[in-house]
Amino acid sequence: MKPGFWRFSVAPMMDWTDRHCRFFHRILTHRALLYTEMVTANAVIHGDRARLIGFSPEEHPVALQLGGSEPRMLAEAARIAEDLGYDEINLNCGCPSDRVQGGSFGACLMAEPVLVGDCVAAMKAAVRVPVTVKCRIGIDDQDPEVALDALADAVVAANVDALIVHARKAWLKGLSPRENREIPPLDYGRVFRLKARLPALPVAINGGIGSITEARALLEPLDGVALDGVMLGRAAYQDPYILRDVDPVFFGETAPVSDLAEAIEAFLPYVERQLAAGVRLSSMTRHILGLYHGVPGARLFRRHLSVEAVKPGAGMAVLREAAELIDRARADRQHGRAPDMAEAAAT
């Protein structure tokens, strides 16, 4: 395992971190660990694997997040993922959606630490790549001091490779999945206390982190305790260009691209290949709508892609036209010209 493997990662996010999203994120950072959306073990075993868990070689390092609570099925799914080339298998113990509650997995597993340990042990026995767990600090009326320790102890006994902790509770009764990302208060201190108690366990922190600056600050020691990694979620998706700072800030390496235009140019060959394979343009461009956040012409860029990329037969020209709107807005700003009427309307 390379040093710093979990130092910075982009969170698994349902309906967001699909293979197109991950490919674009990889253009912006060579070192971040990327995660798939959660896929159930049953779907991996019986479903369309190319569609559900296919990925491009350029995405490495990339981890598959599994959902499930049956050790034998998770072990089989983990074997399949390892054979496909995934660098890590992660078990979801933090998602609070109705879907996972109905299947008795996700955040529900915070109430069953022994079962989680059994699941991890089965996957560890099946694969050579790291097996990790992503969890909350507790659910509903659980005491986070007790609940998180119980889960951590169970997975450590099963030789888990790392624990990623979303530093807030999940309320399975009374809050929607979206509310569960925002309403329960964050408790970063609880994650540091876990690391202090289990110093040999690699621990990464997740939840409510809004920028690269905030992420880097969480890796600074607190009372002599330092975490091993930080995981960024919505901020990385909504404003993906912030990922360009990951390699310099977290790994002391040069950023892969010098500017936004270079990032778009690097994405074009991938888009062209996927279009030729029958993928809709909007399936890819939806992941870059926030790319020009705060840049003149950003609203026109988003509107053009939102309207034109979903049309049947939309192709490379749509993406190039969107980029040209940015160039035009930038030129207008440099020459002191008033914004185009369409941009004014878009604002």
Catalytic residue among 21, 93, 95, 108: 95
Rg (CA), the chain: 21
Q: Is 226 helix (H, G, I), strand (E, B) or coil?
A: coil
State which H helix or E strand residue 318 sits in: helix 316-334
State which H helix or E strand residue 192 sits in: helix 188-197
Give me the residues paired with residue 33 across strands.
9
- Take residue 8 and report the two structure tokens written for it: 């910075």
Residue 95 is a catalytic residue: yes
Give me the residues paired with residue 39 across strands.
66
| DSSP one-letter string for 79-136 | HHHHHHT-SEEEEEE----HHHHHTT-GGGGGG-HHHHHHHHHHHHHH-SS-EEEEEE
Task: Give the number of other CB atoms < 10 A from CB of residue 234.
Answer: 15
In whole angstroms, give the CA distance from residue 22 to residue 16. 9
Q: Where are the beta strands (DSSP E) in 120-243?
A: 131-136, 162-166, 203-206, 229-232
In whole angstroms, give the CA distance from residue 73 to residue 50. 19
Give yes or no for a contact between 155 and 185, defined as CB atoms under 8 angstroms apart.
Answer: no
Q: Which residue has the tokens 């674009």?
A: 24
Task: Give the number of other CB atoms < 10 A from CB of residue 325.
Answer: 24
Q: Is 46 helix (H, G, I), strand (E, B) or coil?
A: helix
The candidate with the shortest Cα–Cα distance to 187, out of 166, 160, 164, is 166
Q: What are phi and psi of 59, to 5 degrees?
A: -75, -20
In whole angstroms, give the CA distance from residue 33 to residue 25. 10
CA angle 117/73/8 to nearest 5° reads: 60
Q: Which residues are catalytically annotated?
A: 95
